[in-house]
């Protein structure tokens, strides 16, 4: 998993982990978590936010995830840290939190979770159900629509005009797996998040949007090839091997490799922090 996420590049891994810790801190800061409160971390993964909440004095933290293996990792870590008595663990998706009783939670958090949920309305409704009156959500979600770009500058804003016919074949691999108009990662933006929170009964609602357009970071070609844009799609190497002939791969490499290694592309990203209270 780490190989696919970071392309085997220690510097890329370091930068990502620094960013993840900053995101965790912002989610918890915006949640205004008070000592002794109960926090539900939906899609907890390896427990980045959940353990951060325990460090900040949460009375109880509920770890919820669809992965039994990740929940076991969190449970083992909680035992080693001596905080198991302040933790509960539930295997449950974001849009069906039935193991958790109504009005028993003070704060619900997510970090890049709704992008995997097809029925986001059901998820927000579930968040409202488990919260006590006055309870808060603090959600962090990337807005992947903002990063969308035409085929001639895909991926990451590299100029592929001289090999546009080849680039379209590679892009088709990704678009087949994640159709831009219907895939949960791509079918919403910040306005949709606000609307969904309102429909679920949250008020007041605050959304902070961070949008960034900048030069791409220089990367090693090998790292770029072996990185997957997200867990649901192949690495770039896997995609080009699937879509292209040997001659086409050589043409694409000749055009793209210098741009990747020099950072001659354009990075686009938008990130949304949504904070709201249950009426």
Domains of the chain: 2-144+180-214+267-278 (3.40.50.150), 146-178+216-266 (no CATH)
Average pLDDT of the chain to the nearest whole number: 92
pLDDT tier, 108 (very low <50, low <70, confident <90, very high otherwise): very high
Which is it for strands 131-142 and 266-278: parallel, antiparallel or unpaired? antiparallel
Write down the residue that tokens 């904070």 correspond to.
275
For the whole model, what pTM was predicted? 0.89
Between CA 62 and CA 66, with CA 63 as vertex, the angle to 5 degrees is 135
Contact (CB, 8 A) for 204 and 255: no
| Arithmetic mean of pLDDT, 96-104 | 98
Reduced to 3 states (helix: H, G, I; strand: E, B; else coil), residue 187 is coil
User: What is the reported pLDDT for 12?
Assistant: 62
Q: Which of 267, 268, 261 is nearest to 224 (CA)?
A: 261
Distance CA 197, CA 194 (A): 5
Distance CA 148, CA 40 (A): 32
User: What is the reported pLDDT for 37?
Assistant: 98
User: What is the reported pLDDT for 91?
Assistant: 98
Write down the residue that tokens 């969308």 correspond to.
148
Rg (CA), the chain: 20
DSSP 217: P
Distance CA 119, CA 230 (A): 19
Write down the residue that tokens 């663990």 correspond to.
89
Residue 14 reports pLDDT greater than 90: no
Helices (H), 143-274: 164-177, 190-199, 221-225, 236-243, 246-262
User: What is the reported pLDDT for 20?
Assistant: 86
User: What is the reported pLDDT for 67?
Assistant: 96
Residue 224 reports pLDDT greater than 50: yes
Distance CA 89, CA 248 (A): 49
Reduced to 3 states (helix: H, G, I; strand: E, B; else coil), residue 267 is strand
DSSP 229: S
pLDDT tier, 180 (very low <50, low <70, confident <90, very high otherwise): confident
Distance CA 218, CA 265 (A): 9
User: What is the reported pLDDT for 1?
Assistant: 45
pLDDT tier, 151 (very low <50, low <70, confident <90, very high otherwise): low
């Amino acid at each position: 998993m780490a190989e696919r996420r970071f392309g085997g590049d220690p510097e890329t891994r370091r930068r990502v982990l620094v960013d993840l810790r900053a995101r965790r801190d912002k989610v918890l800061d915006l949640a205004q978590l008070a000592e002794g409160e109960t926090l539900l971390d939906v899609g907890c993964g390896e427990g980045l936010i959940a353990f951060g909440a325990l460090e900040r004095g949460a009375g109880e933290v509920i770890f919820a995830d669809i992965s039994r293996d990740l929940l076991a990792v969190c449970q083992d870590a909680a035992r080693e840290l001596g905080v198991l008595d302040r933790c509960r663990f539930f295997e449950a998706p974001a849009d069906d939190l039935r193991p958790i009783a109504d009005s028993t939670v003070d704060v619900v958090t997510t970090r890049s979770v709704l992008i995997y949920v097809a029925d986001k309305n059901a998820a927000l409704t579930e968040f409202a159900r488990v919260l006590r009156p006055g309870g808060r959500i603090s959600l962090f979600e990337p807005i992947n629509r903002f990063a969308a770009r035409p085929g001639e500058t895909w991926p990451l804003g590299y100029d592929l005009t001289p090999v546009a016919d080849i680039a379209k074949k590679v892009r088709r691999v990704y678009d087949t797996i994640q159709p831009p108009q219907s895939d949960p990662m791509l079918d919403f933006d910040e306005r949709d998040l606000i609307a969904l929170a309102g429909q679920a009964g949250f008020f007041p609602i605050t959304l902070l949007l961070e949008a960034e357009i900048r030069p791409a970071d220089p990367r090693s070609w090998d790292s770029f090839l072996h990185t997957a844009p997200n867990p649901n799609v192949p690495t770039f190497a896997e995609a080009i091997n699937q879509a292209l002939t040997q001659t086409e791969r050589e043409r694409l490499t000749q055009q793209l490799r210098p741009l990747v290694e020099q950072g001659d592309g354009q990075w686009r990203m938008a990130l949304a922090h949504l904070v709201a209270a249950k009426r």
